[in-house]
A and B are shown apart, each in its own frame.
Chain A
Amino acid sequence: SYVLTQPPSLSVAPGKTASITCGGNNIGSKSVHWYQQRPGQAPVLVVYYDNDRPSGIPERFSGSNSGNTATLTISTVEAGDEADYYCQVWDSSSDDVVFGGGTRLTVL
Chain B
Amino acid sequence: QVKLQESGPGLVRPSETLSLTCTVSGGSVSSDIHYWGWIRQPPGKGLEWIGNIYSRGTTNYNTSLKSRVTISIDTSRNQFSLRVTSVTAADTALYYCARLLNLGSGWTLDYWGQGTLVTVSS
Contacts and interface: CB of A to CB of B under 8 A. Distances in A.
Nearest to B51: A97
Interface of A: 1, 30-31, 33, 35, 41-45, 48-49, 54, 86, 88-90, 92, 94-102
B107 A102 contact: no
Interface of B: 37, 39, 46-49, 52, 60, 62-63, 96, 100, 102-103, 105-110, 112-115
A86 B46 contact: yes
B63 A96 contact: yes
Contacts, number: 63
A56 to B, nearest CB: 11
B47 A43 contact: yes
A54 B101 CA distance: 12
6 contacts: A43-B109, A45-B110, A49-B108, A54-B110, A90-B107, A100-B46
